[in-house]
Homo-oligomer: A and B are copies of this chain.
Amino acid sequence: MADTVIRKRRSGGRSGNTRRHAVSVIEQMPWHIPQNNDRPTEPLDDAGVAAIHDGAMRILEEVGIEFLNDEALAILREAGCTIDGHNVRMGRDFVMEMVAKAPSSFTITPRNPDREVVIGGKSMVFVNVSSPPNYWDLETGKVPGTREQCQNLLKLTQYFNCIHVAGGYPVEPVDVHASVRHLDVLFDKLTLTDKVCHAYSLGKERVEDVMEMVRIAGGLSEEEFEAKPHMYTNINSTSPLKHDIPMLDGWMRCTRRGQAVIVTPFTLAGAMAPVTMAGAVAQSLAEGLCAIALAQYIRPGTPCAFGTFTSNVDMKSGAPAFGTPEYMRATQMSGQMARFYGLPLRASGSCAANVPDGQAMWETSNALWSAVQSGTNLVYHAAGWLEGGLIASPEKFIMDCEVLQHIQRYFDPALTATTPDDIALDAIKSVGAEGHFFGCDHTQERYTTAFYQPFLSDWRNYEGWALDGGVWTAERAHRMFKEIIGSFEPPPMDEAIREELEAFVAKRKEQGGAPTDF
């Protein structure tokens, strides 16, 4: 009993950060990994799945993928693949044998073990916006990203319980030199958040530095770090049909050290992939599965996920489009294929809109609901993305979190329970045809938790809303952003660990950080 209390207190000390805020800016839902028990929407029949699989396999067997990394080429040659220059062809038997070694589900454990996430199965994990070079808010307009903006977006990442993973840089801080950018942002990320982190596969120094910093932040020995995933990398192929040197390097480094690896081909139909969605998905799978085969050959059982980023271009301008009907169907088809291969699926929340307005939300809603419908396990860019990923916006971040909370609540089995208490015949009898349900016991016992309570949606009538200034959603989100940043408290971190991190960053900066071309 006493032990239980103590463990609870310790747990509270690490994860119960929100409890220490006597007055929080908003009432939000608790940390929870949504469990998607809906049957996925599956536009393909068995023959359709077989056709796309066959297409992906024939791409790997007959066309091949360029592996620009010599180390990867050597490993794949040893594995029996057909190598011609950088071109690698691999038979479907080999691919399927390797892919079968990948777990269908795995965990990633950050420095706060209460923020561990499950990638796979029914779990649906949400990641902040990652990698936009620009920042937009209602005051600044579009400007190049800075470290301060990046920190603010990391604070939102930590603040919102519905965001489970601190993915890539929520905005690229271009005011920090590229040689040391990873050191500063990871330091910020590891001190401002206690959620799962990510390493960009942009050269061995960056990947190794991030792994080392995650190890230090977790207070882990080398052995403890490598014993299970504590972070992950995500690589993109250079579509069509190519994997570049640093991406493969980071992929193999993370694999060797037991960390999770995600491969996400950016297959824009009509540009880097066929104009037909099934073709774009088949190509995407070929590009992804060959990387997963490499990882499984290096270290069988490596936790891998397949990422879909298949969308279409605007055929008038060539500009990428997101959250389109084609995007939704490609995501659903990718979900079917991921289940066929037994792999967790990554997808995205995305839009082409330039500002957080109506278009931004219908495109993002389309993207997020297709993630639900496809059984997606990891949703990148789930909050904060604009302009096809070229802009990160705090208003959009907060607006998206309202939608993410909808999804979290939508999965609550209480909403569709059908026990006698839920059917409520006695309440219906007691209220009859003349009363109302506001005051009845059945309502009184349940009303505080019966319904989703929004933090940003304004449900007042027009007059009440207008009297209070008539503030549109983006402006409300902007004000909330200021309040959250103004009252933000970072999660606790052991002082010795913080000093060790600082020392590591200082040392690596002295050494020049990572090499750059400039």
Contacts and interface: CB of A to CB of B under 8 A. Distances in A.
* Residue from A134, A274, A279, A328 with most neighbouring chain B CB atoms (10 Å): A274
28 contacts: A38-B43, A48-B416, A51-B418, A51-B419, A63-B425, A63-B428, A142-B466, A240-B433, A242-B433, A270-B451, A271-B437, A271-B438, A272-B436, A272-B437, A275-B437, A275-B450, A276-B423, A276-B424, A278-B416, A278-B418, A315-B451, A325-B410, A329-B415, A329-B416, A354-B462, A358-B358, A359-B402, A390-B462
Interface string A254-278: 0000000000000001111111111
A42 to B, nearest CB: 7
A447 B359 contact: no
Contacts of A313: 451
Nearest to A318: B438
Interface residues of A, number: 127
Contacts of A352: 457-459
Given A412-B325, A474-B357, A276 B43 contact: no
A97 interface: no
Interface in A60-115: 62-63, 65-66, 87
B458 A62 contact: no
B473 A358 contact: yes
A78 to B, nearest CB: 22
A41 B38 contact: yes
A460 interface: yes
Given A38-B41, A275-B450, A276-B423, 20 more contacts: A39-B41, A48-B416, A63-B429, A271-B437, A276-B421, A276-B442, A276-B446, A278-B422, A278-B424, A319-B461, A326-B409, A354-B458, A354-B460, A354-B462, A355-B472, A358-B472, A359-B457, A365-B365, A387-B461, A390-B462
A450 B269 contact: yes
A6 interface: no
A51 B423 contact: yes
A333 B416 CA distance: 8
A458 B278 contact: no
A424 B273 CA distance: 9
A326 B275 contact: no
A356 interface: yes
Given A276-B446, A473-B358, A432 B271 contact: no
Contacts of A362: 361, 364-365, 399, 402-403, 406
A358 B474 contact: yes
Contacts of A358: 356-358, 360-361, 399, 472-474, 477
A178 interface: no
A391 interface: yes
Contact of A48 (B59, B418, B429): B418
Contact of A451 (B39, B278, B314, B446): B314
A431 interface: yes
Copies of this polypeptide in the complex: 2
A285 to B, nearest CB: 11
A270 B450 contact: yes
A479 to B, nearest CB: 14
A301 interface: no
A375 to B, nearest CB: 12
B437 A270 contact: yes
A236 interface: no
A363 interface: yes
Contacts of A65: 433
A201 interface: no
Contact of A442 (B275, B317, B422, B456): B275
Top 9 closest pairs, chain A to chain B, by CB: A279-B424, A365-B365, A274-B424, A55-B423, A43-B416, A358-B473, A51-B418, A325-B410, A361-B361
B357 A325 contact: no
B359 A473 contact: yes
A231 interface: no
Contacts of A314: 451, 453, 459
